[in-house]
């Protein structure tokens, strides 16, 4: 049975018309689901019993099953969720001064094979539907009885490898009479699927774009991220430049600092040269070590020196606050451990 959460507002209207119902009924259901957070047809009290039964025959409105939950001392909560077909995914809630941010997974497994990343410990089995992404938010909100205010699509998987479903997900959670999460409170992260960056520039929505860069040159990026062999850094830079010109939006460059790999100050200089003239800022990320990968976190001194050098060269830079370091912090770790135990 199809999940009602797979439908955007416009698709829901079409689906209701197809089963002989009025457009306004679809709008009522959309508000029940997203504004009132009701996920039981029988509790949608302004719908007739006949319509409730018809909906129950055609659509599921179930949330995801919470299989396991880890809560960090800093309030970060990692959820292991079961999909309807038994697949396991993770979603992570982070507490910030500005609100509650949820890191959403877009694929069951990942094929990008980034050498440092726990998400790729288990290969991609399939894309998630837009509804399975929406249900991650709905499940967490139901568990917390609080609203998620910000969403980052940078959990397991490559969002731009699941482009259509990810865009439907964004349009659903951004809908004014739905979850109404502002476009500027939504961030989508890609490891560098260049054609999709050009597509994303044409969407006309003010969602934030983050690029997982993690290297200052092609030699290092080729060893860390196989995608770079298909779309090397000169092609990636051209796509970023086009995106900025088309949208007038600043782009975030994610850079995980790996001990003795990409953390020397000479690489900060190379990175600054690569970024010169682009409206970007660099988000430096301390590494969450993954046992199977062999990489280590850079020292505090190295991290600070790298940041200081970028600042000296007039590159906007921030250092990401670490979240969930006392639990299975890196994306994919909890799921991989559960799968291995099984």
Tokens in use for 135?
């249900």
Strand spans (E) along the chain: 2-3, 59-60, 65-71, 77-82, 88-96, 99-103, 107-108, 126-127, 150-153, 186-190, 208-212, 251-257, 280-286, 317-319
Q: Is 329 part of any known ligand binding site?
A: no
Q: Is 288 part of any known ligand binding site?
A: yes
Q: Is 212 part of any known ligand binding site?
A: yes
- Among residues 190, 312, 212, the alpha carbon closest in space to that of 262 is found at 212
Question: Are the beta carbons of 61 and 41 closer than 8 angstroms?
Answer: yes
User: What is the C-alpha separation between 239 and 272, in angstroms, rounded?
Assistant: 18
Element at 274 (helix H, strand E): helix 265-275
Q: Is 114 part of any known ligand binding site?
A: yes
Question: Are the beta carbons of 30 and 10 closer than 8 angstroms?
Answer: no
3-state secondary structure of 175: coil
User: 61 catalytic, yes or no?
Assistant: no
Q: Is 120 part of any known ligand binding site?
A: no
C-alpha distances in Å from residue 308, one per residue of 175, 302, 314? 41, 10, 10
Q: Is 110 part of any known ligand binding site?
A: yes
Residue 275 φ/ψ, nearest 5 degrees? -95, -5
Tokens in use for 155?
């959990």
User: 90 catalytic, yes or no?
Assistant: yes
DSSP state of 5: G
Q: Which of 21, 61, 90, 309 is catalytic?
A: 90
DSSP state of 35: T
Q: Is 213 part of any known ligand binding site?
A: yes
Q: Is 109 part of any known ligand binding site?
A: no
- Among residues 153, 111, 108, 104, the alpha carbon closest in space to that of 126 is found at 108
Q: Which of 61, 103, 191, 331 is catalytic?
A: 331
Buried b (16+ CB within 10 A) or exposed e, 154-172: bbbbbbbbbbebbbbbbbb
Annotated binding residues: 110, 114, 117, 157-158, 189, 212-214, 288
Residues classed as catalytic: 90, 331
Annotated binding residues for S-adenosyl-L-methionine: 157-158, 189, 212-214, 288
Annotated binding residues for [4Fe-4S] cluster: 110, 114, 117
């Amino acid at each position: 049975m199809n999940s009602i959460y797979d439908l955007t507002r416009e698709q829901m209207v079409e689906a209701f018309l197809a089963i002989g119902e009025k457009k306004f009924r679809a709008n009522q259901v959309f508000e029940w689901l997203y504004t009132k957070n009701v996920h039981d047809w029988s509790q949608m009290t302004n719908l007739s019993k006949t319509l409730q039964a018809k909906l129950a025959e055609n659509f599921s409105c179930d949330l995801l099953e919470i299989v396991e939950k880890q809560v960090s001392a800093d309030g970060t909560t990692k959820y292991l969720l079961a999909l309807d077909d038994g697949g396991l995914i993770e979603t992570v809630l982070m507490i910030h001064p500005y609100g509650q941010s949820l890191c959403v997974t877009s694929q069951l497994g990942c094929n990008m094979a980034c050498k440092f990343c726990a998400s790729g410990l288990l290969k991609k089995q399939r894309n998630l539907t837009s509804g399975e992404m929406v249900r991650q938010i709905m499940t967490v909100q139901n568990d917390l009885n609080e609203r998620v205010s910000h969403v980052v699509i940078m959990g397991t998987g490559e969002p731009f490898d699941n482009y259509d479903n990810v865009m439907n997900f964004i349009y659903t959670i951004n809908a004014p009479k739905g979850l109404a999460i502002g476009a500027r409170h939504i961030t989508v992260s890609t490891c560098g699927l260049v054609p999709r960056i050009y597509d994303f520039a044409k969407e006309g929505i003010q969602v934030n774009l983050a690029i997982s860069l993690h290297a200052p040159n092609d030699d290092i990026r080729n060893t860390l991220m196989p995608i770079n062999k298909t779309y090397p850094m000169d092609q990636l830079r051209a796509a970023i430049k086009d995106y900025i010109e088309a949208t007038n939006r600043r782009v975030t460059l994610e850079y995980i600092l790996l001990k003795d790999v990409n953390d020397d100050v000479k690489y900060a200089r190379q990175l600054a040269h690569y970024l010169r003239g682009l409206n970007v800022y660099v988000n430096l990320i301390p590494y969450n070590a993954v046992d199977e990968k062999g990489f280590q976190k850079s020292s505090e001194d190295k991290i600070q020196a790298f940041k200081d050098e970028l600042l000296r060269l007039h590159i906007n830079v921030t250092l990401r606050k670490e979240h969930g370091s006392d639990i299975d912090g890196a994306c994919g770790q909890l799921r991989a451990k559960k799968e291995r135990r099984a």
